[in-house]
């Protein structure tokens, strides 16, 4: 059985971007220190550091927090959800990570180095790794253990593969394919929805009054109908009162600010992003409304200010990996 976001979680892996080559990632170090403090004590906290100096800095800033440090020299990747694979009771299924965005960054040499580092991480966690032949980012795989939601970008990337047959044979799930968001070059389904339980999804619903999101809102309502027709309950999460695209090809101008559905579920706790965007007055209402929604669902709801992270193109689910 594949691990779901809502199934029992024993541990979490997070990066510590101190000394990362990207200065904006490095500047997120204090954000991650605050995030570590929100992890429930019953969850084993594993943090990846890329140098001895990063380990020393982490220890100096996190006294009193029980952390298992995984030191991988030269590690330089923030988006753990994409690279660490799909956790199951048989180990970790590891697809091929070959992102088509920002090819200058994700060179062949870097991808090979990164894969070797991923093997090191799983070895340190005691995980058996099963390689998969398909190309798939972990952020484009949202599952309840019976179905897996992917965008059509994954289908296009594996045009020579029967994805339905492959998923059923290797992962024992059936894919549900949704359209890639028109303003998101990353094409990840975890920016649109998540499973709250086996039969219920949380679904992003964008505002009606933002021109660049008009088509996406229409697509989201179509997704809502599609899942309701399949018998799923749908909880609407009010996302992205921000008139900006998620990614711009060949540039580093990202925007994932306002994507509340991209959170971390840890048993009965949810860590929910909050945003502070003075230009968008509705953001304060969105912060309060979404917190209220998750509290109403019975979650112990913790929040963290996530603007700096959101500017990089992802939020909390993107940087975390749970087991």
Give the model's pLDDT for residue 284. 77
- Is residue 108 scored above 80 in pLDDT? yes
**Domain presence at residue 5:** no
**Domain presence at residue 315:** yes
Residue 201 near residue 194, CB atoms below 8 Å? yes
Give the model's pLDDT for residue 245. 52
Long-range contacts of 95-101 (CB under 8 A, 24+ apart): 95/132, 95/134, 95/135, 95/136, 95/137, 95/138, 96/132, 96/133, 96/134, 96/135, 96/136, 97/135, 97/136, 97/137, 98/135, 98/157, 99/137, 99/186, 100/157, 101/185, 101/186, 101/247, 101/249
pLDDT, tens digit (0-9, with 9 covering 90-100), for 261-270: 999 999 999 9
- The number of folded domains in the chain is 1
First to last CA, the chain: 12
- Is residue 209 scored above 90 in pLDDT? no
Long-range contacts of 59-66 (CB under 8 A, 24+ apart): 61/33, 62/33, 62/36, 62/37, 65/36, 65/37, 66/41
Give the model's pLDDT for residue 319. 98
Calculate mean pLDDT across residues 241-267: 69
Give the model's pLDDT for residue 6. 98
Give the model's pLDDT for residue 276. 85
Give the model's pLDDT for residue 281. 64
**Domain presence at residue 270:** yes
Percentage of the chain surpassing pLDDT 70? 94
Residue 277 near residue 283, CB atoms below 8 Å? yes
Residue 136 near residue 153, CB atoms below 8 Å? no
Give the mean pLDDT of the chain: 92
pLDDT, tens digit (0-9, with 9 covering 90-100), for 33-49: 999 999 999 999 999 99
- Is residue 297 scored above 80 in pLDDT? yes
**Domain presence at residue 3:** no
From 28-37, 239-248, 268-277, the region with the lowest mean pLDDT: 239-248
- For residue 141, the Cα-to-chain-centroid distance in whole angstroms is 10
**Domain presence at residue 1:** no
CATH of the domain at 119: 3.75.10.10
**Please, which residues bridge with residue 78 across strands?**
none
Give the model's pLDDT for residue 248. 43
**Domain presence at residue 2:** no
Rg of the chain over Cα atoms, rounded to whole angstroms, equals 18
**Domain presence at residue 185:** yes
Calculate mean pLDDT across residues 114-126: 98
Calculate mean pLDDT across residues 160-171: 97
Give the model's pLDDT for residue 252. 35
Q: Tokens representing 258?
A: 């306002």
Helices 52-61 and 29-38, interaxial angle, to 10°?
Answer: 50
How far apart, in Å, are the Cα atoms of 89 and each of 4, 104, 127, 171, 315?
Answer: 11, 36, 10, 11, 27
Domain that holds residue 63: 11-322
pLDDT category, 211, cuts 50, 70, 90?
confident
Give the model's pLDDT for residue 318. 98
- Is residue 162 scored above 70 in pLDDT? yes
Calculate mean pLDDT across residues 55-69: 98
Q: Tokens representing 245?
A: 């695209």
Choice between 311 and 272, residue whose per-residue pLDDT is larger: 272
What is the rounded CA–CA span in Å between residue 4 and residue 122? 18
**Please, which residues bridge with residue 45 across strands?**
12, 67
Give the model's pLDDT for residue 250. 37
pLDDT category, 306, cuts 50, 70, 90?
very high
- Is residue 158 scored above 60 in pLDDT? yes
pLDDT category, 216, cuts 50, 70, 90?
confident
- For residue 308, the Cα-to-chain-centroid distance in whole angstroms is 16
**E strand map for the chain:** 11-15, 44-49, 67-71, 86-88, 91-96, 129-135, 142-143, 147-151, 174-178, 193-197, 200-205, 233-238, 264-266, 269-274, 300-305, 321-322
- Is residue 207 scored above 90 in pLDDT? no
**Please, which residues bridge with residue 302 across strands?**
271
Number of Cβ within 10 Å of residue 263's Cβ equals 28
Residue 175 near residue 167, CB atoms below 8 Å? yes
**Domain presence at residue 43:** yes
With 0-12 / 13-18 / 19 or more C-beta atoms within 10 angstroms meaning exposed / middle / buried, residue 206 is buried
Choice between 208 and 243, residue whose per-residue pLDDT is larger: 208
Helices (H), ranges, 176-311: 214-229, 282-296, 307-310
277 — alpha (psi -120 to 50), left (phi > 0) or beta? Answer: beta
């Amino acid at each position: 059985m594949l691990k779901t976001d809502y199934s029992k979680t024993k541990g979490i892996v997070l990066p510590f971007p101190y000394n990362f080559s990207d200065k904006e990632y490095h500047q997120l170090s204090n954000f991650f220190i605050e995030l570590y403090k929100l992890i429930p004590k019953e969850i084993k906290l594993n943090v990846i550091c890329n140098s001895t100096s990063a380990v020393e800095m982490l220890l100096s800033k996190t006294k009193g927090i029980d952390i298992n440090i995984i030191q991988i020299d030269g590690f330089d990747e923030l988006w753990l959800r994409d690279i660490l694979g799909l956790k199951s009771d048989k180990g970790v299924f590891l697809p091929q990570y070959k992102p088509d965005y920002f090819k200058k960054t994700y060179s062949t040499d870097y991808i090979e180095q990164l894969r070797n580092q991923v093997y090191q991480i799983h070895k340190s966690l005691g995980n058996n790794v099963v390689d998969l032949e398909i190309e798939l980012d972990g952020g484009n795989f949202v599952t309840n253990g019976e179905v897996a939601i992917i965008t059509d970008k994954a289908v296009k990337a594996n045009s020579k593969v029967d994805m339905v047959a492959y998923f059923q044979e290797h992962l024992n799930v059936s894919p549900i394919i949704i359209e890639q968001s028109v303003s998101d070059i990353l094409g990840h389904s975890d920016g649109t929805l998540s499973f709250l339980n086996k039969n219920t999804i949380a679904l992003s619903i964008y505002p009606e009054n933002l021109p660049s999101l008009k088509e996406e809102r229409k697509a989201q309502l179509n997704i809502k109908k599609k899942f309701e027709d399949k018998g799923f309950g749908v909880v609407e999460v009010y996302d992205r009162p921000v008139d900006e695209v998620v990614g711009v090809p060949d540039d580093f101008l990202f925007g994932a600010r306002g994507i509340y559905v991209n959170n971390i579920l840890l048993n009965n706790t949810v860590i929910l992003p909050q945003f502070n965007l003075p230009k968008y007055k509705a953001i304060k209402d969105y912060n309060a409304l979404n917190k209220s929604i998750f509290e109403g669902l019975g979650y112990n709801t913790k929040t963290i200010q996530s603007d700096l992270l959101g500017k990089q193109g992802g939020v909390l689910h993107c940087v975390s990996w749970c087991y």
